[in-house]
Amino acid sequence: METASVQKPGDRYTEINSCRSCQSQFMVPVLSLGKMPLANSLLPDSRTEEKIYPLDVLFCRDCALMQLKQTVSPSLLFDEYCYFSSYSDTAVAEANKLAQKMVQERELGKSSLVIEIASNDGYLLQHYVNRNIKVLGIEPAANVADVAESRGIGTLREYFNQRLALRVVREFGPADVIHANNVLAHVPDFNDFLAGIKDLLKEDGVAVIEFPYLKDMLDRTEFDTIYHEHVFYFSLTALAKAVARHGLFLTDVERLSIHGGSLRVYISLSPSPKDQRVRALLSEEERWGALAPGSYEGFGEAVRLLRTELKELLAGLKSDGKSIAAYGASAKGTVLLNYCDIGRETLDFIVDRSPHKQGKWAPGSRLPIYDTGKLNEAKPDYVLLLSWNFQDEILSQQWQYLKLGGHFIVPLPKAKILL
């Protein structure tokens, strides 16, 4: 199912005229973040020329799906990727817990097959391998897939779609479990994605899909979740409509705290009498007004107010002669710094735990990225926590900087200094 769009010559992006999910033309503007660099396109040096793209969010009045107006070419976003999931201890620990849960609940054994779409560096599938379960990763970013392969995880370096799903079934058989963590929001043609899920699942199999939860994003003013990779922002209401259209069934849902608030949904080929949590959350969203455009109207104003408050806080610290750095060369950080127009006049540098980011420069702000040890060397008075979604993990790792008298600033949902 294709969505009408307008091609922008030479820029490798399109703009939609109708909803990518249900094809409705009743689209309502929610928020514009202006023009942005690609959030994960780190620069090799501070002089590198970079392109910027508009970043506007729309809401479909017919199916409640919030989505970007623009679609940037996936090859620009994902052919080479700088995010390696294994550098988050939290993500790896949660992946291990999930694998253990699925092995026990689904009674998986040596004859079972677990497939992960957007399998990254094997941070999740490694836990199945350790339990002697057959796995297959699907990951288009070759540099990331190479790391997974080095861990013994067979990986197809391709983008997932229905055509690939049918090929995988022919070559490997259907899947007992399909994982898709933080990828559903990345896929412009997610009708094709859902069709592929349906073809790839075993008759009694389950797809376990995680994504940032729209309601949490709105309630906590998490505008930095919005970037060109994230084409969609899902409520359960919007997802349920699309899943039903493909003859699939939502059988369970869990609310997670990770990434500032996420949903983990379970999708099967048959309905379940134990879908009480699905029905409960859908009822909760109906009371909230998931289908009402008015439920989204205050988000833009809240984002603008947060920008003003954060800039005033940082400006006050600078006027007092304080030095400020940032932690996390993340996609969230790119959006926050560029939308708030925070750069080298305010921050001295960024630190990040991933060696794949160190030695590069942040998109737009062109701040240098160093190893986290730079905090103890330079001893900035304050550190703006751009990767706030891993706050507890980062604070525990940076105990030495805190012991030296440093302070972290958390930008969302309200800018504040952690004392």
Closest CA to 22 of 49, 2, 7: 2
What local confidence, expressed as pLDDT, does residue 294 receive? 92
* Element at 212 (helix H, strand E): strand 201-212
In this structure, what token pair is assigned to residue 387? 């990767």
Q: Do domains 85-291 and 312-418 have the same CATH topology?
A: yes
Domain boundaries, the chain: 5-68, 85-291, 312-418
Which tokens in the block code for residue 156? 């197809």
Question: Starting from the edge strand earliest in sequence, which strands make up the sheet with 369-370, in order?
Answer: 369-370, 350-351, 324-327, 382-385, 407-410, 416-418
Q: For the segment 161-216, what is each residue's pLDDT rounded down to a tens digit? A: 999 999 999 999 999 999 999 999 999 999 999 999 999 999 999 999 999 999 99
HEC string of 29-58 equals EEEEEEEEECCCCCECCCCCCCCEEEEEEE
pLDDT tens string 117-136: 999 999 999 999 999 999 99
Is the separation of the CB atoms in 63 and 34 below 8 Å?
Answer: no
Rounded CA-CA distance 238/60 in Å is 9
3-state secondary structure of 376: helix
| CATH class of residue range 312-418 | alpha beta
pLDDT digits (tens, 9 = 90+) for 18-49: 999 999 999 999 999 999 999 999 999 988 89
Single-letter residue type at 27: M
Residue keyed to tokens 């070559």: 171
What are the residue ranges in the chain where pLDDT is below 50? 1-5, 7, 9-10
Please tell me the distance from the alpha carbon of residue 203 to that of residue 298, in angstroms, as a whole number: 44
Q: What are phi and psi of 13, to 5 degrees?
A: -145, 160
Q: What is the residue whose two structure tokens read 């609310």?
A: 255
Beta strand segments in 344-385, E = 350-351, 369-370, 382-385
Give the integer Cα–Cα distance in Å for 266 and 321. 52
pLDDT value, residue 81: 66
199 near 162, Cβ under 8 Å? Answer: yes
Q: Which CATH number does the domain 85-291 belong to among 3.20.19.10, 3.40.50.150, 3.40.50.720, 2.40.50.140? A: 3.40.50.150
How high is the mean pLDDT of the chain? 93
Phi first, then psi: give them for residue 221, nearest 5 degrees.
55, 45
Beta strands in 213-338 (DSSP E): 232-233, 249-256, 262-268, 324-327
Greatest CA separation for the chain:
66
Adjacent-strand bridge partners of 138? 117, 156
* Region label for 396, one of left (φ > 0), alpha (ψ between -120 and 50) or beta (otherwise): alpha
Is the link from the previous residue into 413 a cis peptide, with omega within 30 of 0?
A: yes
Residue 93: CB atoms within 10 A of its CB come to: 11
